[in-house]
Amino acid sequence: MKRLLLIAVIAVSVGCRKAPKTAETQAPVDPRNTNYQPGAGALINSARAGKRAAATNDFANLKVFIFDFELNNNRMPTKEELRGDVKNAGNLLKLIDEGVILFPMRMQKDGLWAYEIDAEKVGGIVLVANAVSRASADDVKKMLGQQ
């Protein structure tokens, strides 16, 4: 019985070793990105979840400005035009100026409108065709490639 218990303990301890970090998990990620980060710990990821809720709200507010601009001008806005529209919208102008909210080179009505910093590396919040959602890094890269 003791021998069986010893074998079980050894098997569990060998099987529980952490996998070595890959280059992808070691890449530095901007702390302003709100996506879940494996290995970052519960405290950090809990804080990111709170920031993610606020960021989702910011993207929803940005969606209103972009949609309104497109409706009134029959074309998608440029970053500079958006900056003028959101100057009185609380936190949005700051997030755009600090590079937390990024825009593709050319916005398309049915494509990617905006994404958060480092979303192309680790995933994050995106604004696509009037809808706010979360996307993986691969999805963001695809969307950026289609622009």
Residues 6+ apart with CB under 8 A from 77: 65, 66, 69, 70, 85, 107
Tokens of 76: 């998608």
- Please report where in the chains the tokens 């529980």 appear, as a residue: 16
- Position 71 scores a pLDDT of 93
- Position 45 scores a pLDDT of 66
**What does the alpha-carbon distance between residue 131 and residue 59 come to, in Å, rounded to a whole number?**
9
- Please report where in the chains the tokens 């952490």 appear, as a residue: 18
- Position 4 scores a pLDDT of 59
Burial of 125 (0-12, 13-18, 19+ CB in 10 A): buried
Q: Which parts of the chain sit beneath pLDDT 50? A: 20-25
CA triple 121-66-93, angle to 5 deg: 70
Give yes or no for a contact between 116 and 130, defined as CB atoms under 8 angstroms apart. Answer: no
- Position 64 scores a pLDDT of 92
- Residue 84: which of 76, 92, 75, 73 has the closest Cα? 92
- Position 22 scores a pLDDT of 47
